[in-house]
């Protein structure tokens, strides 16, 4: 047997097959869903009942425990979506393109939650729900990029062509992510700068704890939601494959 087929790296490629990854994802979804629920309960309790009241913003600041994690996840998921779309485009791997398609709705949801909670926070803080601030505007563009990716794939019947077109859009749109992140540094904006930086934080310890727990909760939720959607996409695209037909007969789907 050749060294190529016995190498650990080569063995990992078998997980790129939809029929192999489908049952694995099914086992992972409940685990991450439970983790998301537990972490969210802990994070919300700490954030809303244990964290101190902010000296300047009062209790209105507590919405950041939802706003900030959703904003971070919206950016992270877009980069992840673009990565898998690019892998599918370059290597023509079906599962990679399916993964990108599965990520898009959850990323769009995170971007929407970020904008919505930001508007609720902006009303008592800025006196208005919306301003054409650099970070708000670039986040709105991020939501449109997600929706454009979803709409483009839905509009093209040929899944291969849809994957390629979506990948091009996703990769071009990546440039918007650093714009969102650095907008408060590059332009004079109303949006406050980062309270959490590598190695330092201007937040009280209990506030920071609640924030980080909620970040992990959103992360676990995103993984569970993406994997559940990926399983549905795999079944839709592979519905005529023999392994799907056999699984249906055996009742193991």
| Structure confidence at residue 195 (pLDDT) | 57
User: Contact 84/171 with Cβ under 8 angstroms?
Assistant: no
**39 vs 54: CA distance, rounded Å:** 23
Start-to-end Cα distance in the chain: 34
User: Contact 48/124 with Cβ under 8 angstroms?
Assistant: no
| Structure confidence at residue 2 (pLDDT) | 39
3-state secondary structure of 194: coil
**81 vs 152: CA distance, rounded Å:** 15
C-beta neighbour count of 158 within 10 angstroms: 9
Q: Which residue has the tokens 């983790």?
A: 35
Among 159, 173, 163, 151, smallest CA distance to 74 is for: 173
Mean pLDDT of each 10-residue bin along the chain, 253 residues long? 44 78 96 98 96 82 93 97 97 94 98 94 81 89 98 95 97 95 68 55 82 97 98 94 85 76
| Structure confidence at residue 197 (pLDDT) | 53
Q: pTM for the complete prediction?
A: 0.89
| Structure confidence at residue 5 (pLDDT) | 43
| Structure confidence at residue 131 (pLDDT) | 85
| Structure confidence at residue 11 (pLDDT) | 58
Q: Which residue has the tokens 């409940």?
A: 30
């Amino acid at each position: 047997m050749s060294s190529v087929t016995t190498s650990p790296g080569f063995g990992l490629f078998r997980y790129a097959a939809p029929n192999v990854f489908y049952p694995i994802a099914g086992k992972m979804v409940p685990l991450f869903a439970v983790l998301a629920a537990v972490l969210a309960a802990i994070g919300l309790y700490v954030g809303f009942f244990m964290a101190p009241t902010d000296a300047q913003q009062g209790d209105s600041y507590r919405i950041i425990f939802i706003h900030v994690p959703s904003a971070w996840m919206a950016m992270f998921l877009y980069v992840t979506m673009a990565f898998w779309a690019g892998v599918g485009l370059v290597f023509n791997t079906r599962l990679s393109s399916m993964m990108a398609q599965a990520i898009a709705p959850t990323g769009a949801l995170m971007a929407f939650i970020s904008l919505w909670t930001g508007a609720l926070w902006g009303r008592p803080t800025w006196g208005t729900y919306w301003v054409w601030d650099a970070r708000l505007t670039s986040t709105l563009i991020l939501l449109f990029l997600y929706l454009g990716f979803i709409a483009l794939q839905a509009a093209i019947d040929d899944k291969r062509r849809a994957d390629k077109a979506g990948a091009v859009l996703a990769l071009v749109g990546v440039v918007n992510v650093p714009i969102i992140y650095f907008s408060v540094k590059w332009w004079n904006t109303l949006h406050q700068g980062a309270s959490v930086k590598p190695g330092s934080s201007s937040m009280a310890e209990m506030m920071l704890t609640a924030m980080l727990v909620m970040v992990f909760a959103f992360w676990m939720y995103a993984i569970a939601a993406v994997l559940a959607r990926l399983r549905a996409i795999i079944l839709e695209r592979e519905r005529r494959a023999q392994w799907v037909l056999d699984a249906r007969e055996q009742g193991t789907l």
